[in-house]
Amino acid sequence: MAEAATATRPETATRQPLLAVRNLEAWYGESHVLHGVNFNVFPGEVVTLLGRNGAGKTTTLKSVMGILTKRKGSVVFQGKELMHAPARYIAREGIAFCPEERGIFSSLSVEENLMLPPQVKPGGMSVEQIFDLFPNLKERLNSQGTKLSGGEQQMLAIGRILRTGAKMLLLDEPTEGLAPVIIQHIGRTIAQLKNEGFTIVLVEQNFRFASTVADRHYVVDQGRVVDEIANADIEANLEKLHAYLGV
């Protein structure tokens, strides 16, 4: 598989990956969920992890982030091994995580939610820039965080990690359960963030959406990365994808 990646994208062979995940295994209690996940993310890329429900996509993000602590293998970010670091340390290295359930705090106002994650690196977005991306948030600053609509909560969940200066974003199913017009908004936002130099790992079930924003796709199945598809080749691989995703 590593050879395949080099063949399809020769320029990646000479670049250092920003994030390199090797033989990542993880457990929920006794249950062994990841069985050796391997993937690379290069600077400025948008990469998706595609796969069915329960394939291990979310677990992969949580293990990279150090939220899941029962894990082994190797996660190297900017040349640093993060496997034995706690989540707060990994965050301070410049990786930001947006959870699937969005994680908006109900006892905090929208503004408090937005300002909660501390700055970990210089060069984060200003609050004004975040309002440019998500104008809805500006009008609801004093509302209770969980009083927002699902789409607004998702925007808040993405918006608040843009302030921190982290340049690597892990987004877990940001389009789940949202109306098509909001999904388009999120898609445009991801494209804009890529233009501004963010590197993004996106967990998706919806490969139609994924194909509008991503450079490459990794297919996750039963706790392993089983395939890698460049976005340009996605049409040619439709049948294979349907088989993987069971759609």
Q: Say if residues 25 and 72 touch (Cβ distance below 8 Å).
A: yes
Structure tokens of 137?
């948030």
Please report whether residue 116 would count as binding another protein according to CB under 8 A.
yes
Could you say which of 56, 66, 159, 223 contacts another protein (CB under 8 A)?
A: 66
Stretch that binds another protein, among 23-31, 74-82, 94-102, 185-193 (CB under 8 A): 94-102
Choose one: 21-29, 62-70, 193-201, 210-218; the region binding another protein (CB under 8 A).
62-70
* DSSP string over 22-87: EEEEEEETTEEEEEEEEEEE-TT-EEEEE--TTSSHHHHHHHHHTSS-SEEEEEEETTEE-TTS-H
65 binds another protein (CB under 8 A): yes
> Does 67 interact with another protein (rule: CB under 8 A)?
yes
Stretch that binds another protein, among 12-20, 74-82, 96-104, 133-141 (CB under 8 A): 96-104
Candidate segments 81-89, 132-140, 186-194, 214-222, binder of another protein by CB under 8 A: 81-89
From the CB of 27, what's the least distance to another protein, in Å? 15
Least Å from the CB of residue 168 to another protein = 13
Member of 24, 120, 225, 245 binding another protein (CB under 8 A): 120
Q: Does 141 engage in binding with another protein (CB under 8 A)?
A: no
Which residues in the 162-191 window bind another protein by CB under 8 A?
164
**Does residue 92 belong to the site contacting another protein (CB under 8 A)?**
yes
| By CB under 8 A, residue 107 contacts another protein | yes
Residues at the contact surface with another protein, assessed by CB under 8 A: 65-67, 86-92, 96-97, 99, 103, 105-108, 112, 115-118, 120, 161, 164
